Structure 1
Amino acid sequence: MNNEVETGEVELGEVELGEVEIVVAHSERATLRVGDVFLKVDADRARADAEAEAMALAPVPTPEVLWRRPPVLALAALPGTALGRYGSPSPASPAAWAAAGAAVRRLHEAPLPPWPGQSVEARAARLDAECAWLLAGEVLPEELVTVNRRIAEAVLRPWTPAFTHGDLQPDHVFVDGEEVTGVIDWSEAAPGDAHYDLAVLTLGHPEHLPDLLAGYGSEVDVELIRAWWSYRSLIVVRWLAEHGFDPAAPGCEIDVLRSRLPG
């Protein structure tokens, strides 16, 4: 359910305190769980504002906003379990993936959020910079970067903007059986290429792309989704490494890049 955002203080007595679990933490953002409450701390006020507004605008289930006092956003926990995680087999059924596809379609058909997304030129510049970094530091083999860059360049074309989540990883989509109970982490939401959301959701889970598209419907270029797999994997290796994540973990970004090599 979407909720209007309220700003104000909250008494500790309103939350049943338990152990504090660090869900994710790096230099830009941190998410803590206290009982059934998630506390998101974002150093970028504009990004936090956009996340709150995106949740209010999105025509799909989102976490209930309990309160907001910048830089902290308090959200209620969602029922169900994540659709999947990079590097692990998805526990969700084909029907759950289809339900996720239908929810993503509703999002993409909604009116655009009132802030700009990334341009084709910005996307191209990011690809240039990240590939140069990967090669200069010999982080990845030249052939791996060159082949995937050639594939990724297919995404650098004009697109009809859609309301995109912008970081639609499978652990950001919660399902209960065959029902989507909520979508979290909207800080990258903006007008963008619908194929990008579909690619991020199935990155590392290509076997579920047909299930996702069964719910999403027609008018999808599967080759563009595959090109976005290469693009996304190339541009995030540096960020992941610098923020304490491992892009070389089994089934994650570097494995995705390797899977694109011929033979």
Structure 2
Amino acid sequence: MPEVKVVVAHSERATLRVGDVFLKVDADQARTDVEVAAMAMAPIPTPKVLWRKPPVLALAAVPGTALGRLGEPSTASPAAWAAAGAAVRKLHDAPLPPWTGRSVDELATDLDAECEWLLANDVLPTDLVTRNRRVAEAALRPWTPAFVHGDLQICHVFLDGDEVTGVIDWSEAARGDALYDLAILTLGHEERLADLLAGYGTDVDVDVIRGWWSLRSLLAIRWLVEHGFDPAAPGCEIDVLRARM
């Protein structure tokens, strides 16, 4: 008898695993609409949609093992990271989805609000916020839109050996900055960026990727705290910010 395992659960959404089936329950059906549409468009392996009955989406498990997890060293080989980079490049070269993501102006407004909250509530030292706010400026520039995953965490990319077998969790997919995906995939694993770029196959502005590391971490901390996660865990968002010092 398969067990019911809680993969993630908070006030916005929950994911359960029963055998080889994932059941995703989302309060916002627009996110599920995006996920289903993005998986249908993506030119790389994605989970098979088994059925959908709002608010539940049933997906088949993808084979293989996650590239790694935030806060833990990745044991994947350089070739596996390069394969992940090649898959991300294939996605970024694909035709754009019809919907857009957050604009530069929206991100800048959100960043101002989150930095103000971090300081007003003494969550982080002033110098840590100020330094990373400055680093984040590199990401706040015009970009050529690409088909981006939008939440390309290291645990969302699965491989069998050095072959990508699936990329999961597409609810944030949109038109956006290609370097954002590269930054999220290497968040907390900065030492693997060169391996990823070896497969991605093009010159990138590493200062912009560093900017996204800071920007994403500053934007995420309040949400993580309010939803029961710990951004101060070793190797996670606050350590990413400290690395910029």
* SS state at 1:114 partner: coil
Is 1:197 the counterpart of 2:181? The answer is yes
* SS state at 2:100 partner: coil
Q: Which consecutive segments of 4 or more residues in structure 1 shift more than 6 A? A: none
- Matched length: 245
* SS state at 2:212 partner: helix
Aligned to 2:157: 173
Give the Cα–Cα distance (whole angstroms) in 1 for the partners of residues 118 and 80 of structure 2: 36
1:183 partner amino acid: V
Larger radius of gyration: 1
TM-score where L is the length of structure 1: 0.92
Instruction: Trace 1:89-238 onto structure 2 (pairs within 5 A).
Output: 89-238=73-222
2:205 partner amino acid: D
Q: Alignment identity in percent? A: 77
TM-score where L is the length of structure 2: 0.99
Alpha-carbon shift at residue 219 of structure 1 (Å)? 3.0
Unpaired segments of 5 or more residues in structure 1?
Answer: 1-16
Aligned to 2:62: 78
1:87 partner amino acid: G
RMSD: 0.7
The superposition leaves residues 91-131 of structure 1 with CA deviations (integer Å, 9 ceiling, x where unpaired) of 21100000000000000011111112111110101100100
Give the Cα–Cα distance (whole angstroms) in 2 for the partners of residues 112 and 212 of structure 1: 22
Is 1:64 the counterpart of 2:45? The answer is no
Give the Cα–Cα distance (whole angstroms) in 2 for the partners of residues 116 and 89 of structure 1: 33
* SS state at 1:152 partner: helix
Unpaired segments of 5 or more residues in structure 2?
Answer: none
The superposition leaves residues 194-213 of structure 1 with CA deviations (integer Å, 9 ceiling, x where unpaired) of 00000000000011000000
Aligned to 1:255: 239
Alpha-carbon shift at residue 231 of structure 1 (Å)? 0.4
